[in-house]
Structures are given as C-alpha cells and as structure tokens.
C-alpha cells in the first residue's frame, strides 16, 4: 500500500515510524514549514520533517503537492490544517485523533480532557472529512487519565495511536467498514495564554489540572512565575496569600491551598520553589499572588 503522511509535532512521529517499520511504502511526507524556535533562533524543521529526512522520505510543505503523487491513502496525525474536500475526494485519508470521539473534537483534546477531569481518554482512527473530526470510526482505544501531565499523556496516546492505525490497515473489515460516531459532541478549544494563567479565584483542583498542561504561570509582585509542578496542600493560608510553611511554598485559592514544587522565574531556568523563595528580595510578609 502506497501512503502519504501528513503531520507536524513530535506526537505524530511514532505513527510515521510505525508505518515505515511495518514496510508500508510512505512516498511523501507533508508537514508545516520550518519555524523559529525561541527568541532569535534560526529556522528549525518540525519533528515530523526531521524524522522523515532521517528515514529518507521526500518532504513537502505544500498540501497541493499531494495531487502529484499516486498513493492509495494518506495518514494524518496532528497536521494542523483542514484538508479541502477536493483533495479528500482524490486521496482517502485516515486520521489518528487523540480522544474518544465524538468527545473533544478540535485542537486540544488532551488538554481539555485533563481540565474537565475526564477519567478516561484515548485515540480514535477515523476517515477524514472536511468538517472537524466528524468522520466515521475505524477503531477506538482507551487509556486512564489519572494524574498524568499532558506531555506524558500525549506520549502514551501517540504510541497507542500508531498501534491502532496499523491494526486498521491490516484488517479489511476495520478499514472498509467504519461506523458513524455516536454520543454527545464536545469541542476542544485551543489552549491560550489566558487558559494557563493561575489566579486565586480558581478552585484548587483547576489550578492543579492547569499545571499538568505545562506552561502554567502566575504573578508575584508583578513578576511572572512559571509553575512547573505543584501538589495539594492542607496548610492554612488566606485565599490569594503566599507563604513559606514548614519548608513548603504554599499558595491559597478560594477553596484550598497548594504547594509549589518546581517553578521557572521570569528570565531564569527551572528551580525548586524553595530556592526561588530564598532568592526573593524585600519583605516576604503579606505576599500576594495573582
């Protein structure tokens, strides 16, 4: 079977590598253009592009280039662009989506599952349609969310999705007879900077869920402080307060307190919360966070 592969982030790489290792003929990889990573950095290829070049597969940044290739199907994993109907008519496509559809259609299914407190999530292999994540289902697989970070959960789902896709491609029954999605549709809106901003008005459980997404932050004395890791605390601190209690840096929300474990001060690298606290200048009495 001759295939094209469309994907961009690290989470798409396991599926590409699984296809090659299973001896599928991946003739073209399409990915998003090279971008600058970090302030002043040079242009860098996407993780999928790096993997494709290492595997000796031609790479394109133009979706229209797929019209020039004779492939049986295309596989899409987190490519990042809606595929037009004209191209789907020419090339049937399978999409590996990181949720149990129809729950969490859209851009941030893993993050939204964590924020919603879902006990389970999973992967779904669907036939791609022009409408968002609405295609019929070839296979679904589930995992428990637990207290996993988004990064850990994505890594687990990436491996699970690669295995699920191979199962579909190896089975005429699964490949040719997908089933319509059934259940309540929910949409996974994109995560924004404001989503990751921790404030005292949030519940403690939402603070800790947000920290698990990666990139959470708050402000102390007008300085931005990234929150890398935190856990629930039973210490008594007034809502909005910030204090060192029995060797722990404790912050309070409207309904409870949490302890900072690792932080990333503005312009600095990750460190323990106690090291950050020790380096604070000025009075530490009546500190507030927002």
Looking up residue 210, the CATH number of its domain turns out to be 3.10.25.10
For residues 17 and 108, state if they share a domain: yes
Domain end: 131, 161, 188, which one? 188
- 100-119 core/surface letters (b: 16 or more CB in 10 A; e: else): bbbbbbebbbbbbbbbeebe
pTM given for the model: 0.95
pLDDT digits (tens, 9 = 90+) for 201-220: 999 999 999 999 999 999 99
CA angle 20, 5, 54 (to 5 degrees): 50
Q: Are strands 217-220 and 223-233 parallel, antiparallel or unpaired?
A: antiparallel
Long-range contacts of 86-91 (CB under 8 A, 24+ apart): 87/63, 88/128, 88/129, 88/130, 90/66, 91/4, 91/66
3-state class of 95 per DSSP? Answer: strand
CA end-to-end distance (rounded Å), the chain: 55
Instruction: Point out the residues of the chain with pLDDT beneath 70.
Output: 38-40
| Residue 198 belongs to some domain of the structure | no
Residue pLDDT, tens place only, 20-34: 999 999 999 999 998
Write out the residue range of the structural domain in which residue 38 sits. Answer: 2-188
**Total domains in the fold of the chain:** 2
146 and 13 in a common domain: yes
Contact between 103 and 142 under an 8 Å Cβ cutoff? The reply is no
Report pLDDT digits (tens) over 211-267. Answer: 999 999 999 988 999 999 999 999 988 899 999 999 999 999 999 999 999 999 999
Q: Tokens 């295939």 — which residue?
A: 3
Identify whether 220 is part of a domain.
yes
| pLDDT at 144 (0 to 100) | 98
Identify the domain boundary among 134, 154, 188. 188
Structure tokens at 139: 């296979």
Q: How many whole angstroms separate alpha carbon 20 and alpha carbon 37?
A: 28
Residue 114 DSSP SS3: helix
Measured in whole angstroms, how far is the alpha carbon of residue 161 from the centre of its chain?
14
Whether residues 124 and 6 fall in one domain: yes
- The residue count for the chain: 290
Cβ partners under 8 Å of residue 154, min gap 6: 11, 98, 110
Instruction: Kindly state whether residues 237 and 119 are assigned to the same domain.
Output: no
**In a shared domain, residues 120 and 249:** no
Measured CA to CA, the distance from residue 7 to residue 29 in angstroms comes to 8
Quote the pLDDT of residue 283: 75
pLDDT at 27: 97
Predicted local distance difference test score (pLDDT) of residue 236: 86
pLDDT, position 38: 65
């Amino acid at each position: 079977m001759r295939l094209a592969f469309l994907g961009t982030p690290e989470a798409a790489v396991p599926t590409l590598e699984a296809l090659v290792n299973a001896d599928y003929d991946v003739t073209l990889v399409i990915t998003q253009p090279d971008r600058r990573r970090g302030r002043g950095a040079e242009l860098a290829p996407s993780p999928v592009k790096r993997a494709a070049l290492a595997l000796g597969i031609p790479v394109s940044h133009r979706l229209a280039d797929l019209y020039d290739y004779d492939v049986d199907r295309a596989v899409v994993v987190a490519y990042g662009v809606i595929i037009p109907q004209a191209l789907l008519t020419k090339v049937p496509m399978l999409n590996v989506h990181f949720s149990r559809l129809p729950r969490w259609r859209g851009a941030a299914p893993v993050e939204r599952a964590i924020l919603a407190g879902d006990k389970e999530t999973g992967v779904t292999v669907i036939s791609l349609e022009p409408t968002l994540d609405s295609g019929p289902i070839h296979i679904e697989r589930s995992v428990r969310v637990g207290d996993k970070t988004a990064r850990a959960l994505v890594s687990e789902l990436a491996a699970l999705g690669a295995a699920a896709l191979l199962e579909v491609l190896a089975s005429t029954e699964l490949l040719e007879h997908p089933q319509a999605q059934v259940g309540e549709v929910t949409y996974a809106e994109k995560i924004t900077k404001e989503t990751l901003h921790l404030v005292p008005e949030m519940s403690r459980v939402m603070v800790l869920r947000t920290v698990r997404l990666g990139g959470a932050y708050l402000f102390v004395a007008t300085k931005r402080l990234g929150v890398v890791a935190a856990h629930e605390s039973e210490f008594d601190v007034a809502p909005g307060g910030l204090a060192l209690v029995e060797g722990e840096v404790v912050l309070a929300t409207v309904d409870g307190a949490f302890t900072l474990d690792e932080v990333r001060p503005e312009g600095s690298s990750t460190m323990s919360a106690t090291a950050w606290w020790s380096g604070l200048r000025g009075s530490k009495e009546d500190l507030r966070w927002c």
